[in-house]
Amino acid sequence: MNAMSFETRHNLSIGLRYALLILIATIFIFPILFMVMSSLKPDLQMLRDTASLRAFLPVGDISLNNYAEAFERVPIVQFAFNSVFTTSVSVAASLLLNSMAAFSFAFLQWRGKAILLSLIIATFIVPFEVIAIPMLLVANNLPWIGPEGIEIGWLNSYHVQIIPFIADSLGIFLFYQYFRDLPDELVEAARIDGASIWQIYARIIMPIAGPIVATAAILKFLVMWNAYIWPLMTIRSEELRPIMVGLQYFFQLNVAWGEIMAYLSMVTIPVLIFYLALQRAFIESIATSGIKG
């Protein structure tokens, strides 16, 4: 009797837990569901449906017209290519550079290391908006080797969207935290075996840094994929614009809500794919951080 009662309580507890999880999942899923369903409806129907549960259902006049019209209004393929290109290069370069910087902070001995690390961490508190204009003025006066030789000014280019964002304090800090908690014996043993600094970095440390690589990659991916203010300030030509700036194309006098939902649905897909691909390592990283913390 007691055992049954325990079992009942256990089942009830599991049931409640699942109910709570489903509720939380629903809260997170409903906006995405609303977005996708709205992308299939004409504007007037979509706006009228917002007052009822119909907003989350594929009912009424359903079609892919909004997607077709979104493609007509915005050069989506070009913008998507630009975002994929700038984001991929930025993520790859930032993983390399930030992990190398963190490796140096964690395992190498050099003068001023502690002060420099403190300064890097201190930059966390400076919002991008504060440094945007100085960055713009600097970028406008930097040299670059172009097809016609040395040119002054980085504006209106891919590299102005990539290079300023490769080194970042959050990335360095994440890697540094992870490296710092690795056993020193790993590095010492490799040194005794005659491994160089580069070999230790590339063959000993990075192969076991998967979870933090995933975390840093996801965070950098999100920042770059959502880039908006910086491209607005630095990019003049439509053919170089990233995908988030394209969202503004729909805000005309009569806002094309259905097309906005279609565009957002398309923009969200790469983010979901990227996250799902790295989800296991990302969760592992958070779990590991939790244990350490």
Partner 1 sequence: MNRTKRILVMLLLITLLLSAAPLASAQTELSLWYHGAGNPEERAVLLNVIDDFNASQSDWSVVIEEFPQESYNSSIVAAALTGDLPDIIDVDAPVMPGWAWSGYMAPLNLSEGALDGFLPGAVGVYNGEVYAVGLWDAVVAIYARRSVLEANDIRIPTLEEPWTGEEFDAVLETLQATGDFENAFDVGMAWKGEWYTYAFSPFLQSFGGDMIDRETYLTAEGVLNGEAGLAFGEWWQSLFERGLVPGTSQDGADRDTGFLDGKYALQWNGNWAARAAVEAFGDDALFLPAPDFGSGSTIGAASWQFGISSTSEHPEGANAFIEFAIQDEYLVDFSNFGGLAPATASAAAESDLYYEGGPLEVFFGLSQAQALVRPVTPGYANLSLSFKKALADIADGADVQDALDAAVDEIEQDIEDNGGYGFGDM
To partner 1, the closest distance from the beta carbon of 44 in angstroms equals 6
Residues 247-276 that bind partner 1 (CB under 8 A): 248-255
Q: What is the 3-state secondary structure (H, E, C) of the chain?
A: CHHHHHHHHHHHHHHHHHHHHHHHHHHHHHHHHHHHHHCCCCHHHHHHHCCCHHHHCCCCCCCCHHHHHHHHHCCHHHHHHHHHHHHHHHHHHHHHHHHHHHHHHHHCCCCCHHHHHHHHHHHHHCCHHHHHHHHHHHHCCCEEEECCEEEECCCCCCHHHHHHHCCCHHHHHHHHHHHHCCCHHHHHHHHHCCCCHHHHHHHHHHHHCHHHHHHHHHHHHHHHHCCCHHHHHHCCCHHHCCHHHHHHHHCCCCCCHHHHHHHHHHHHHHHHHHHHHHHHHHHHHHHHHHHHC
- When asked if residue 38 is in the footprint of partner 1 (CB under 8 A), the reply is no
Who's near 120: CB < 8 A, 6+ residues apart? 169, 172, 173
Answer for which of 185, 237, 290, 293 binds partner 1 (CB under 8 A) is 237
To partner 1, the closest distance from the beta carbon of 14 in angstroms equals 40
Q: Which is nearer to partner 1, 74 or 106 (CB)?
A: 74
- Which range, of 6-14, 132-140, 158-166, 276-284, touches partner 1 by CB under 8 A? 132-140
To partner 1, the closest distance from the beta carbon of 246 in angstroms equals 8
- When asked if residue 44 is in the footprint of partner 1 (CB under 8 A), the reply is yes
Answer for which of 133, 189, 283, 287 binds partner 1 (CB under 8 A) is 133
- When asked if residue 182 is in the footprint of partner 1 (CB under 8 A), the reply is no
Q: Which is nearer to partner 1, 11 or 50 (CB)?
A: 50
To partner 1, the closest distance from the beta carbon of 133 in angstroms equals 7
- Which range, of 3-11, 39-47, 88-96, 272-280, touches partner 1 by CB under 8 A? 39-47
Answer for which of 100, 219, 232, 266 binds partner 1 (CB under 8 A) is 232
Task: State the binding string over 47-76 for partner 1 (x if CB under 8 A, else -).
Answer: xx-xx--------------------xxx--
- Which range, of 76-84, 123-131, 245-253, 270-278, touches partner 1 by CB under 8 A? 245-253
To partner 1, the closest distance from the beta carbon of 55 in angstroms equals 10
Q: Look at the alpha carbons of 95, 98, 101, 102 in this order and tell me if their dihedral is positive or negative.
A: negative
What tokens were used for 17? Answer: 């837990």
To partner 1, the closest distance from the beta carbon of 32 in angstroms equals 19
Q: Give the number of other Cβ atoms within 10 Å of residue 171's Cβ.
A: 26
Which residues lie near partner 1 (CB under 8 A)?
43-44, 47-48, 50-51, 72-74, 133, 136-137, 140, 153, 155, 229, 232-234, 236-238, 245-246, 248-255
